Structure 1
Amino acid sequence: MKILICSLLLICGAIAFRTQSTGVKGKLVCGSKPATGVNLKLFDEDNGPDPDDVLDQKTTDSEGNFFLSGSSMELTPIDPELRIFHDCNDQGSPCQREWVIRIPAKYITNGPEVKEVMDLGVLNLEVELDNESRSCTH
């Protein structure tokens, strides 16, 4: 009987976890020039002792374009965010500027394949955001 109960609990726990995916694309510029080679990471931001999950990471291409997508198996809805690490308009300050852009829930798909990708359009990295920070390790 104990084995049956434990088996049922394990099966229910496994079913409760579900794969969720998301994606984001856009183009980065620094002033009037493409922001090439900018580091980007797509995260599932987790609170508490569970560390953030990296869903995807890439750098922008020669035109400043990017596309990131990924999935994670979670019990609760994922909290995706794009982190952009760059040196545009930083006047030689140490480390890199870090932008964090939250991805709205409507761009989260149940399952491993992204159905709707968030299009950020063109972002000019010269802008100074109130909540931006600096990152020396990323």
Structure 2
Amino acid sequence: MKVLICIALLVCGVTAFRTQSTGVKGRLLCGTKPAVGVNLKLFDEDNGPDPDDVLDQKTTDSDGNFLLTGSSMELTPIDPELRIFHDCNDQADPCQREWVIRIPAKYITNGPEVKEIMDLGVLNLEVELENESRSCAH
């Protein structure tokens, strides 16, 4: 009987987790030129002891364009964010500038396939964000 109860609890726990997906696209500039080869990571930001999950990572193409999509199996809603690591307008400071852009919940899809991708449009990386940080290891 105890074995059956344990199996039932295990099955219920596993089915409570659900796959959720998200995506983001856009174009990055550094001034008037495409920001080529900029490192981008799409994360599910997790609080507590669970480390952040990398959903996708890429670099911008020769025109500064990017598209990242990914999914994660979680019990609670995912907290997606795009992290952009760049050297635009950097003045040779150590490490890279890091921008963090949160993806709104309306761009989270239940299931492994993204239904609506957030379009950031064109962003100029020369801008200095008030809450940006620096990252040496990414």
TM-score range for the pair, normalised by the shorter chain length: over 0.9
Q: Within the alignment, does 1:109 sit opposite 2:104 as a pair?
A: no
Task: Determine the structure 2 residue equivalent to 1:63.
Answer: 63
Identity across the alignment (%): 87
Counterparts in 2 of 1:24-63, with a 5 A limit? 24-63=24-63
* Letter in structure 2 aligned against 1:79: D
Q: Which secondary structure does the structure 2 equivalent of 1:28 belong to?
A: strand
The whole-number CA distance in structure 2 between the counterparts of 1:125 and 1:53 is 25
Task: Determine the structure 1 residue equivalent to 2:135.
Answer: 135
Task: Determine the structure 1 residue equivalent to 2:16.
Answer: 16
- Structure 1 residue 127: deviation in Å? 0.2
* Letter in structure 2 aligned against 1:34: P
Q: Within the alignment, does 1:79 sit opposite 2:60 as a pair?
A: no
Deviations 1:78-105 (A, max 9, x none): 0000000000001110100000000000
The whole-number CA distance in structure 1 between the counterparts of 2:4 and 2:56 is 39
Q: Which secondary structure does the structure 2 equivalent of 1:24 belong to?
A: strand
Aligned residues: 138
The whole-number CA distance in structure 1 between the counterparts of 2:22 and 2:118 is 8
Following TM superposition, the consecutive aligned residue runs of length 4 or more in structure 1 with deviations greater than 3 angstroms are none
Deviations 1:36-92 (A, max 9, x none): 000000000000000000000000000000000000000000000000000000111
Gaps of 5+ in 2: none
The whole-number CA distance in structure 2 between the counterparts of 1:10 and 1:91 is 54
- Structure 1 residue 106: deviation in Å? 0.2
Please tell me the root mean square deviation across aligned C-alpha atoms, in Å: 0.3
The whole-number CA distance in structure 2 between the counterparts of 1:35 and 1:90 is 13
The whole-number CA distance in structure 2 between the counterparts of 1:106 and 1:45 is 16
With normalisation by structure 2, the TM-score equals 1.00
* Letter in structure 2 aligned against 1:55: L
